[in-house]
Structure 1
């Protein structure tokens, strides 16, 4: 693997509230005590609290807790979308987005809806209006993109590199996390400033580094499942490279993303003393995410099991054998899903959005499992 850690020279810091919020999120996630065995081990191996604490090192405890709840929940959504087909992904999106657009009025029995409303209502009192809007809009983009990803996966499509990059910037889920930088640091940056081309380029470069490095780190697990929504097989397919050549190619793109970020930051204009201070904090937040995600990837068991430290030192990975392919999961309510179109018309900017109440194997209720997660 390429040595991305050495190329990313931003200072790594860890929030002092890490242990507290990790414990609180665990209680929040395990309400009903329904995660056992492998599911519970998977949660502990994820180490989401460490990632959150590395990426939001200056956040106060309440803000850090919301960020950690969200990231832990997002990893569950990521796992769901990896295994779901288009229908299952869309019904999940409907529940989540309606819970965000109508946190005080929308009701849904699915666990994912209650979790969404819970963390978002805790975010609302201190998040600026612009932050709230960016969080919801970019989360909407996430669901639109994972729906397209599900369609591509079902049809066996390996996209070209340009199309993949455009889609991956949304399937990564990074953009809502960038909005949480504003929330975690109590920033109120005007929309016109957030839309400035230089600031947008910084966000895009940070997204690219986090996302493309994740494609390198997650490739082994994904190839074992036959998943081609990863930059490495995309590059192999488009450029005719072997595996090592594709890994090296993606690694160079990651290093260029770090360089792009640094160059863009050096080009930031000045607005006013207060705005400049807030923008500087926001830029630091993007840098925290870049360096934090790199180091966390070798601490979590999500990609390398318990061998993360060895892989970090040697940068050598032994490929896993291919597994038998599983059929994608669908919402168990199937064609009988109840549609609430009036709510969708009011709340969701997706023109083809359908609202359903899915039964979700990880985040929904099931008989005898009051609060499974």
Structure 2
């Protein structure tokens, strides 16, 4: 489908280290004090496999840390942000407590979601530079508040009614920028601060986010419809007058356009093997590829779980 030697993954990695990490992650997930249905969904989602494809250069212990953090992120989104019994003010208060926490904060608190977050956050801080940890916390803050905005919009059927506005919000609310910011720490490279915010790197990052959002929304449309979540690219296209079949075709074409845009931008990036920019851009592609495979093969996208 794609040129210049870039292809989306067709199968996940498989080795004894991955199998051990997945077992360790499953045990850790089952021990979480959260809703049983959410816990089952997390276990069958094979988050460890996603992490292994998205962070292919991470050492085993760092890969497990990344997989735990992804699991927490998915759990917090499903267990807390989408929980209708919690008030808007309660959600904002909790997000503030997470967003402005300093490394080393005591994890001995009542909320399981907060307790686990502070434990993982402290582990990440031990391996991250000050600049890296700052980027992670900034992207986490943006992700949580954007997810809250998106959730409120979906419930009220207001706002985010254009593709551009939706994608701009989803770059944060999807947590993808946060996952990208974890790459340096997990994979052990340094992306210079001045490079990180260069326009061409920002354009690459945005294209990678958009590719993942389009892929997620297309594969998860049936699941989200069953859950009565009517906020997604296909829903927006349908609201613009397209039938579902036409919207699916349009979505597939847009996804390929975004992939080609990323590949074109990637060719202009640093080709110096081992440099921070080279490693970072490769990580963006790994995430696009890993997410595509994970979304197309993971049970929660195939069944209403």
**Normalised by the size of structure 1, how large is the TM-score?**
0.72
Could you list the per-position Cα deviations for residues 337-366 of structure 1 after superposition, in whole angstroms to 9, with x for gaps in the alignment?
A: xxxxxxxxxxxxxxxxxxxxxxxxxxxxxx
2:41 paired residue number: 42
Q: 1:42 to 1:20 in 2, by over 3 A?
A: same
Counterpart selection for 1:280 from 278, 281, 304: 278
Q: Following superposition of structure 1 onto structure 2, how do residues 101-112 of structure 1 map, counting pairs within 5 Å?
A: 101-105=102-106, 108-112=109-113
Higher relative contact order (CA 8 A, sep 6+): 1
Could you list the per-position Cα deviations for residues 192-250 of structure 1 after superposition, in whole angstroms to 9, with x for gaps in the alignment?
A: 10001111111111111111110001110111222122111111113x11111111112
Q: 1:40 to 1:145 in 2, by over 3 A?
A: closer
Instruction: Tell me by how many angstroms 1:121 deviates.
Output: 1.4
Instruction: Give 1 or 2: higher helix fraction.
Output: 2
Instruction: Tell me by how many angstroms 1:19 deviates.
Output: 1.8
Residue 128 of structure 1 contacts residue 188 of structure 1 at CA under 8 Å; is this kept in 2? no
The yes-or-no answer on 1:254 pairing with 2:252 is no
> How many pairs does the alignment contain?
296
Q: Following superposition of structure 1 onto structure 2, how do residues 126-275 of structure 1 map, counting pairs within 5 Å?
A: 126-157=127-158, 159-238=161-240, 240-268=241-269
Q: Following superposition of structure 1 onto structure 2, how do residues 281-360 of structure 1 map, counting pairs within 5 Å?
A: 281-305=279-303
Instruction: Tell me by how many angstroms 1:77 deviates.
Output: 1.7
2: distance between equivalents of 1:32 and 1:75? 13
Q: 1:56 to 1:32 in 2, by over 3 A?
A: closer
Q: Let me know the Cα RMSD of the aligned residues.
A: 2.6
Could you list the per-position Cα deviations for residues 305-343 of structure 1 after superposition, in whole angstroms to 9, with x for gaps in the alignment?
A: 3xxxxxxxxxxxxxx8xxxxxxxxxxxxxxxxxxxxxxx
2: distance between equivalents of 1:103 and 1:235? 45
Residue 90 of structure 1 contacts residue 143 of structure 1 at CA under 8 Å; is this kept in 2? no
Could you say what secondary structure the match of 1:118 adopts?
helix
1: distance between equivalents of 2:91 and 2:32? 25
Moved runs in structure 1, 4+ residues, more than 6 A? Answer: 32-35
Residue 138 of structure 1 contacts residue 175 of structure 1 at CA under 8 Å; is this kept in 2? yes
Q: Following superposition of structure 1 onto structure 2, how do residues 46-125 of structure 1 map, counting pairs within 5 Å?
A: 46-80=45-79, 81-84=81-84, 86-99=88-101, 101-105=102-106, 108-125=109-126
**Normalised by the size of structure 2, how large is the TM-score?**
0.88
Q: Which runs of 5+ in 1 are unaligned?
A: 306-319, 321-373
Could you say what secondary structure the match of 2:220 adopts?
helix
Residue 47 of structure 1 contacts residue 299 of structure 1 at CA under 8 Å; is this kept in 2? no
